[in-house]
Structure 1
Amino acid sequence: MNKIILTGATGFVGSALAATLLSRGATVLAVSRNDQDGCRTETAVREAAAGCGLDLGAAIRDRLVTFDAGQGPLADALDADSLQAADAVWHCAAEMSYSANKLAHAYQTNVCGTVDLYRKVAAHAPACKRFYYVSTAYTAGIRGGNTDETLHVGNPCVNSYQVTKWCAEQSLSVLHQEGALPVAIFRPTIVVGHAQTGWARRNGFGFYMFVDAIEAVRRAGASHARLNLPGDVKPDLVTVDRVVDDMAGLTSREDQGAAFEVFHCSGGRELNNRQLLSIISETTGVRATHGPPMTLLDQRIDRAIDANRLFASTDWTFNRTSLDAALKRESRSTPVDKDLLARLVDWYRSEVPLKIPPVAGQLETQA
């Protein structure tokens, strides 16, 4: 594991991956937008290191190199010299909006931007062994059921993020067939905080949308909320430390091979929606029950969670046999249980800031 090109280092998974790779001796070439001096990237990686309990020492100063794409394509930020030395790419950056109004922008970012980056790396990075693309397990569509590690065809997608991630996977499959650079599609399920520290980004994405919704009820002075969700559905939650450990493990494989790979990074399904809401209720002091909205406040909360309602109302079982085989892992870690989820919710709701070590020296940046 030597030099890794990484996009999305200011995001939740991307920053945790950057910190993890740095802790294992890699040099990280982090490509970001609107970060000319590299401070936003450095801050995100330092926060992730603290959140993951990693002591990076001088690694950020010595082995984190930032590239600023301004407002343009990420691929344009990389110069020929940097590409020459790259051993692998992790493309984590994405437009995360679900809005149909942002479909064109999401397509430009998630599909066209991915294709441009792949083509530039394939043409100018002779040492690069594999292009890893971070997608989502929910490119499987909304049918649910048993879901294999393969490309999906004809399954219904319901938002701009899901649609454009599916399109990017298909595009990379076509590019892989040209034989220039092997591709791996990496699909996490619902990523939650760090299993040991609880750390997460407080951005209301995914599972934390429901925490924010019930917290909003508490702040409004109410003691009860009804959420229109099926109680028996079991979402697949995976902790961020498990995700980035799997990512780093894939990167460090001695034999990267030449096959097109698809991996599900799932954590397993133990708790159903009823249990999840019960745990959030216990930590917030708001009694959350299932059913259609009855009050104006219920209606506001119902609109707030609508973006994730279909995902929280569908049961999937994600096969991760290929990922475990690639990592030579015989057994999986246990799924998120009640005690762990309670700790994750407690940390997310806390207002105690992370203890982030001070900056050590000058960060290397390239515009």
Structure 2
Amino acid sequence: MDAIVFGATGFIGRSLVAELLGRGQQVVAAVRNDTLTPWLKSQNVGIGGLTVVTADISRPLTGAGLPGARDVYNTAGRYSFGLGVPEARAANVTGALNVLDWAATLPGLRRVVHISGYRVSASDAQPDYARLGAYEASKVEADHAVRTRAAELGLPLTIANPSSVIGPGQYIGLAALVKDLWHGRLPALPGGPDVFVPIVTIDYLVGFLAEIPAAPAGEHYWVLDDTTPLLPELISTIAGHLGVRAPRRTIPVGLVRRLPRGLTGADPETLSFLSSDRYPTASARAFAAAAGLEPPPAVEALRAWADDLVATRFGAASPWLRPYGFRSVAGSRTWVAGERDRPAHVLLHGLPMNADLWAPVAAHLPGPVLAPDLPGLGRSAPADGRTDAWLAELLAPVRTRPTLVAHSLACGPALRFAVEHPERVSRLVLVSPAFLQAPGPWLNRSLLAVPMLRRMSAARLAATLGLPEGPEVASAATDLRRPGVARRVVAALRAASAARDRSRALLERVSVPVQIVTGSADPLTVDTGHPVAEIAGAGHYPQLTHPARVADLIGEVSVR
């Protein structure tokens, strides 16, 4: 075999396996449980060259029946805070030494590549577990122990010291700060204005690791991006991209250590990483240049990672529509998912939901869709002006005449756009247009009280809306807890109620075909003169309870 990767189900390990397989190598993945194969398939990685074996590096590997390999990668370890000392040492120290002892038995060994950390090699050989915490101290101890054991065994060793690794699927470390920022729980940054928390992207790192075995042994590398902004600027950059407010103050680390954790929310084990130290990256930069590797611009990488964090709800959900990310639309940092240039359908959500409302319907629709969160709602920041200007700018890049689909509150802006720009849309579908219906149980006192709305659990929100609990309702409940969203939902409900008569009058002016879709439990109270499809047994949200039927009604006219 070309390579064996220990810790192949971890964030770095699985991406390294994918990289090596992509280079045509025969790879052994040493795992405790095979969650790797499903992940590789989900990433469209061919697994013809993959062999998966079971291994526990906390126990001696000699005689374990593992297949030999030319290159040995140890990406295994426990990256977690709050570990006990025995647990941390078993994975990060004993496990690393067991890998070396086993590698020494391989007759065709070319290289052992050990993944360490960017903070550890400058530390003492006898780490202070009480001061550093079990995770960092065990990594410090392992770094020195691995160097010593490899020298004793005469092993060709290369140590890679990556910094904070970012990319799709990374939800720990720096991600915790971004999560607090997104949810409005980061009033101040721990550390001073010169704190340097360098990053490296996962794609760049595994490309670097894959090149190491063919290079001369004896060199160790700090793999990180020296151009990473200082921490206050880094957080400010992400905040600007997400459309949220960045903290303006910093708190010295010494003060954070003295304050109760319940007040600061800071894990004491993370504070030693808040340093202004710089690192010896010259050899890594020269190696990367010789291999033709170049890291992506740090700011662009941070923004792309922030999109992934929000799309996956920081690891709690799976995105239903790609591509996705924040875009600047009429002064709003708008969450936009799907096809921006040539959609067959544009889907606008109602209240108090977000674009995820359309996931069940989109699964049945022919052709690509574009589904944004309305400005100020869901994941989107407020716009500078009216929703009409926002919608016009959102659809400016569209080169098709899509079917414009709107639900409830969004029916008003969609109708106005169709009246003003009939050449831009082929058809208008209004699902449960609130301005044509009596206020139903979905519009009750719970939805007009900001504190109550913001505190709603997914279960309570589902019950309030008369819906089964599901991922779409859970997604909406998550967004309602973000600062300002619940307040803007209430304001939008009241504004839409005041504009009911104006919206009804526009129906007489629209020149594109109109299809109205309602549920039998939420019928129209006004005769519009346009076709109405009533779905038996549905309420105000038929796209959640009867998605296939709604998709049939939407998809009747193809894009021109």
CA distance in 2, matches of 1:310, 1:162: 9
Change (3 A) 1:315 1:163: same
> Measured at CA, do residues 70 and 172 of structure 1 come closer, stay the same or move farther in structure 2, by a change above 3 Å?
closer
Aligned pair in 2 of structure 1 residues 74, 19: CA closer, same or farther (>3 Å)? farther
- Per-residue Cα deviation, 1:65-89 (whole angstroms, up to 9, x for no partner): 1112369637369415x12xx1011
Match of 1:359 in 2: none
In 1: Cα distance, 2:30 partner to 2:294 partner: 32
Residue 274 and residue 301 in structure 1: after superposition, are their counterparts in 2 closer, same or farther (change >3 A)? farther
Aligned partner of residue 9 in structure 1, secondary structure: coil
Counterpart among 319, 330, 340 of residue 353 in structure 1: 319
- TM-score of the aligned structures, taking structure 2 as reference length: 0.50
Task: Look up the match of 2:109.
Answer: 128
Question: Which has the higher mean CA deviation after the structures are superposed, 300-309 or 169-178?
Answer: 300-309
> Is 2:119 the counterpart of 1:138?
yes
Q: Secondary structure at the match of 2:229?
A: coil
Q: For residues 256 and 332 of structure 1, what CA distance do their matches in structure 2 show?
A: 17
The aligned amino acid for 1:353 is: P
For 2:148 and 2:8, how far apart are their aligned partners in 1? 27
Letter in 2 for 1:343: A
1:269 corresponds to which residue? 227
Partner of 1:308, secondary structure, is helix
Q: 1:182 aligns with which of 156, 161, 171?
A: 156
Distance 1:155 1:210 in 2: 26
Percent of aligned positions that are identical: 21
Deviations 1:219-243 (A, max 9, x none): xxxxx72233323323211111110
Report the CA distance shift for 1:230/1:154 in structure 2 as closer, same or farther (over 3 A).
Answer: same
Q: Are 1:200 and 2:166 an aligned pair?
A: no
CA distance in 1, matches of 2:228, 2:289: 24
Bigger mean CA offset, 24-33 vs 339-348: 339-348
User: Deviation at 1:211?
Assistant: 0.8
| CA deviation after TM superposition for structure 1 residue 164, in Å | 1.5
Counterpart in the other structure of 1:107: 89
Partners of 1:32 and 1:276 lie apart in 2 by 35
Residue 89, structure 1, aligned to residue 72, structure 2: yes
Mapped partners of 2:57, 2:114: distance in 1: 21
Q: Mark the CA change 1:155 to 1:164 in structure 2 (over 3 Å): closer, same or farther.
A: closer
Aligned in 2, Cα 1:342/1:306: closer, same or farther, shift over 3 Å? Answer: farther
Letter in 2 for 1:341: L
| Structure 1 residues not aligned, in runs of 5+ | 143-151, 194-198, 219-223, 357-367
Bigger shift: residues 327-336 or 302-311: 327-336
| Distance in 2, Cα, partners of 1:32 & 1:20 | 17
1:273 deviates by 1.8
SS in 1 for 2:79: coil
Deviation of 1:263 after TM superposition, in Å, equals: 1.2
1:324·1:330 contact (CA, 8 Å) conserved in 2? no
* Deviation digits for residues 122-178 of structure 1 (CA, Å, limit 9, x no counterpart): 12x111111111000110457xxxxxxxxx657877122222122222222222222
The answer on 1:161 being equivalent to 2:99 is no
Of stretches 335-344 and 20-29 in structure 1, the one that deviates more from structure 2 is 335-344
Over aligned residues, Cα RMSD in angstroms? 3.2
Match of 1:329 among 271, 283, 290: 290
In 2, are the aligned partners of 1:7 and 1:90 still within 8 Å (CA)?
Answer: yes
Partners of 2:58 and 2:320 in 1: CA distance: 32
Q: Which residue of 2 aligns with 1:221?
A: none
Deviation of the 1:327 alpha carbon = 5.0
CA contact (8 A) 2:74 2:113 kept: yes
Distance 1:324 1:289, change over 3 A: closer
Greater RCO (Cα-Cα under 8 Å, separation 6 or more)? 1
3-state SS of 1:329 partner: helix
Q: Deviations for 1:303-326, whole angstroms, at most 9, x for unmatched residues?
A: 2454323312x1222222333444
Q: Residue 38 of structure 2: which of 35, 40, 43 is its match? A: 43
CA contact (8 A) 1:31 1:77 kept: no
Residue of structure 1 equivalent to 2:13: 14
CA separation of 1:355 and 1:107: change in aligned 2, threshold 3 A? farther
Larger radius of gyration: 2
SS for the counterpart of 2:221 is strand
